[in-house]
């Protein structure tokens, strides 16, 4: 937990409490640290006035941008919401950071490896297949919205000298994760004694990835 590991930090959480979130997930931090070091603000990142108000009143110097519509299956039937939250919401955050009274020292944008699209199995043997050599090629509305958001972050870095970091990891997992995601879903299925698909090809890829010194699988 961030506030436990770094006792000098003050954390302000901005979340609109969508269907997949709960205030109970941050209750332990609120209970341990109280209002002095952890504060929760209910609201969405598409509200420019709210975001700018929080940045100014709380004197924020680092933004960790996790907020996103992220369930791929939902993006096929409700793609506009992904564009609004992931692209417009990111743009609102960036513009608010640009206009904030307190200088933003770092903007951390959490993206996804899905912005690279699908990789052929034969690419596993391609040593040049590293992140910097891979083009963005999203194949679904969710991935496209995250790719667009990432490009906005890079543009603000170039145009306004906003210090930023973009992470493009695989499945993020942890306590209290909503069960629509792969790992908690498989865990629940296993506890219930239900079957799930296991493919030998994926296992070979995992073994090969473990032996690689670098690159991407």
- What pLDDT does 217 receive? 39
Residue ranges of the chain with per-residue pLDDT less than 50: 120-122, 124-125, 128-129, 133, 201-203, 205-207, 209-211, 213-217
Q: What is the CA radius of gyration of the chain?
A: 19
Between CA 96 and CA 106, with CA 101 as vertex, the angle to 5 degrees is 65
The strand pairing partners of 11, in sequence order, are 38
Note the pLDDT tens digit of each residue in 95-144: 999 999 999 999 999 998 889 987 644 454 455 445 554 688 998 889 99
Q: Exposed, middle or buried, 39 (CB in 10 Å: 0-12/13-18/19+)?
A: middle
- What pLDDT does 134 receive? 66
Give the pTM.
0.77
- What pLDDT does 89 receive? 95
User: In Å, how far from its chain's centre is CA 52?
Assistant: 21
Catalytic residues: 113-114, 142
Which helix (DSSP H) or strand (DSSP E) does residue 82 occupy?
Answer: helix 79-82
- What pLDDT does 14 receive? 93
């Amino acid at each position: 937990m961030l506030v436990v590991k770094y006792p000098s930090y003050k954390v302000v959480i901005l979340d609109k409490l969508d269907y997949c979130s709960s205030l109970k997930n941050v209750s332990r931090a609120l209970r341990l640290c109280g209002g002095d070091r952890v504060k929760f603000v209910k609201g969405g990142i598409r509200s420019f006035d709210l975001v700018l108000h929080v940045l100014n009143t709380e004197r924020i110097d680092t933004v960790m941008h996790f907020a996103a519509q992220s369930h791929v299956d939902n993006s096929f039937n409700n793609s506009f919401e992904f564009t609004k939250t992931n692209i417009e919401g990111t743009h609102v955050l960036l513009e608010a950071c640009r206009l904030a009274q307190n200088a933003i020292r770092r903007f951390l944008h959490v993206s996804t490896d899905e912005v690279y699209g699908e990789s052929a199995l034969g690419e596993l043997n391609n040593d040049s297949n590293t992140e910097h050599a891979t083009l963005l090629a999203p194949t679904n509305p969710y991935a496209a919205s995250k790719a667009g958001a990432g490009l906005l972050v890079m543009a603000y870095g170039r145009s306004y000298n906003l210090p930023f970091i973009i992470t493009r990891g695989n499945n993020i997992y942890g306590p209290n994760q909503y069960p629509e995601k792969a790992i908690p879903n498989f865990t629940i299925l296993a506890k219930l004694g239900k079957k799930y698909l296991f493919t030998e090809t994926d296992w070979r890829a995992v073994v090969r990835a473990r032996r690689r010194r670098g690159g991407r699988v």
